[in-house]
């Protein structure tokens, strides 16, 4: 980071996709950062045409546009933490991984693969780049169970499988893995581990279908708390608490799945 400007506001950068419907992606990230009192900044990697019914289409930005946005932000304003989300293509994954490797700030990688509606947000051939280029530069990687299976081949069917899944994720080089078990029945249980410490995070299940943007929100809250100087376990606990509240307050918009709420 360049010489930090005098204002002490923690600065958090999201490198991700835009959700035109305002529920997930860059929009969820910036809302989360604002709600948590950090300064949010964005590098847009892809633009989706999206609403409560799903993703109607997406377009990647040119590599030069992503690189230029990143350099503009990091070289002048500086970042205390970075979050990555939808990166769409192998070329963008590799470009962003290269930029992150030069940035001395914690990195939260949300390895976005497929939306809740089943729309693919990552090209099939990009999964290998996520494994070999992006995971090694992550401070924390936050896969849900589908993304865990996509990255490692480990199918988690119960809490008992989560340790094996985390070990398989950690084998690709991130410092910490947060395996999100929210899609299992019962309590929402996540496992955070660095291979030595284990933290099991539990939250009551909210019977609310309006959960669009949950993963983006969690990763952005985690990055925001890291930017404030918290440890990874403390930042993860705080992020889970924020996200649980946002899910509880999720509300209907459009005729499909509504967004989590950041105004609680």
Instruction: Return the residue of 12, 13, 15, 16 that touches ligand PLP, per CB under 6 A.
Output: 16
Residues 96, 133: Cα–Cα separation, whole Å: 9
Sequence-ordered list of residues with C-beta below 8 angstroms from that of 233, at least 6 positions apart, any chain: 192, 197, 199
Residues 181, 170: Cα–Cα separation, whole Å: 17
Instruction: Return the residue of 14, 19, 51, 69 that touches ligand PLP, per CB under 6 A.
Output: 19
Give the nearest distance from C-beta 3 to ligand PLP in angstroms: 32
Nearer to ligand PLP (CB atom), residue 91 or residue 146: 146
Contact, 167 vs 238, CB < 8 A?
Answer: no
* Site for ligand PLP contains 115 (CB under 6 A): yes
Q: Identify the H or E element spanning 201.
A: strand 198-203
Residues 245, 214: Cα–Cα separation, whole Å: 11
* Site for ligand PLP contains 188 (CB under 6 A): no
* Site for ligand PLP contains 25 (CB under 6 A): yes
Give the nearest distance from C-beta 143 to ligand PLP in angstroms: 11
Residues 83, 36: Cα–Cα separation, whole Å: 15
Instruction: Return the residue of 112, 141, 165, 218 that touches ligand PLP, per CB under 6 A.
Output: 112
Give catalytic residue positions: 180, 211, 213-216
Question: Rounded to the nearest 5 degrees, what angle is found at the Cα of 203, between the Cα atoms of 201 and 205?
Answer: 140
Region for residue 68 given its phi and psi (left: phi exceeds 0; alpha: psi -120 to 50; beta: otherwise): alpha
Give the nearest distance from C-beta 230 to ligand PLP in angstroms: 23
Tokens found for residue 1: 């980071």
Nearer to ligand PLP (CB atom), residue 58 or residue 70: 58
Instruction: Return the residue of 106, 213, 250, 258 that touches ligand PLP, per CB under 6 A.
Output: 213
Give the nearest distance from C-beta 194 to ligand PLP in angstroms: 24
Question: Rounded to the nearest 5 degrees, what angle is found at the Cα of 197, between the Cα atoms of 196 and 202?
Answer: 140
Nearer to ligand PLP (CB atom), residue 106 or residue 215: 215
Nearer to ligand PLP (CB atom), residue 55 or residue 104: 55
Instruction: Return the residue of 48, 129, 193, 220 that touches ligand PLP, per CB under 6 A.
Output: 48
Nearer to ligand PLP (CB atom), residue 167 or residue 203: 203
Instruction: Return the residue of 11, 31, 39, 116 that touches ligand PLP, per CB under 6 A.
Output: 116
Residues 82, 85: Cα–Cα separation, whole Å: 10
Helix (H, G, I), strand (E, B) or coil at 47: strand
Backbone angles phi, psi at 225, to 5 degrees: -70, -35
Nearer to ligand PLP (CB atom), residue 95 or residue 217: 217
Contacts to ligand PLP by CB under 6 A: 16-17, 19, 24-25, 48, 50, 85-86, 112, 115-116, 121, 212-216
């Amino acid at each position: 980071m360049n010489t930090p400007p005098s204002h002490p506001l923690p600065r958090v950068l999201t490198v991700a996709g835009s959700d035109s419907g305002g529920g997930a992606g860059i929009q969820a990230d910036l809302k989360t950062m604002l709600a948590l009192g950090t300064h949010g900044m964005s590098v847009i990697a892809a633009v989706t045409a999206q609403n409560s019914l799903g993703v109607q289409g997406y377009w990647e930005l040119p590599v030069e546009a992503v690189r230029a946005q990143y350099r503009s932000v990091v070289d002048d304003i500086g970042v205390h933490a970075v979050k990555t989300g939808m990166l769409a293509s192998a070329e963008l994954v590799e470009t962003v991984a290269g930029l992150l490797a030069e940035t001395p700030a914690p990195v939260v990688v949300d390895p976005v693969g497929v939306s809740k509606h089943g729309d693919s947000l990552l090209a099939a051939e990009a999964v290998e780049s996520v494994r070999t280029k992006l995971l090694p530069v992550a401070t924390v990687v936050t896969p849900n169970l589908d993304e865990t299976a996509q990255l490692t081949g480990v199918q988690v069917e119960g809490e008992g499988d989560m340790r094996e899944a985390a070990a398989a994720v950690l084998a690709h080089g991130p410092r910490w893995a947060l395996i999100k078990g929210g899609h299992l029945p019962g309590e929402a249980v996540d496992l955070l581990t660095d291979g030595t410490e284990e933290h099991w995070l539990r939250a009551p299940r909210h019977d609310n279908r309006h959960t669009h943007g949950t993963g983006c929100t969690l990763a952005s809250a985690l990055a925001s708390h890291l930017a404030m100087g918290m440890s990874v376990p403390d930042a993860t606990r705080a992020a889970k608490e924020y996200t649980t509240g946002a899910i509880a307050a999720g509300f209907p918009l459009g005729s499909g799945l509504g967004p989590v709420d950041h105004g609680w």
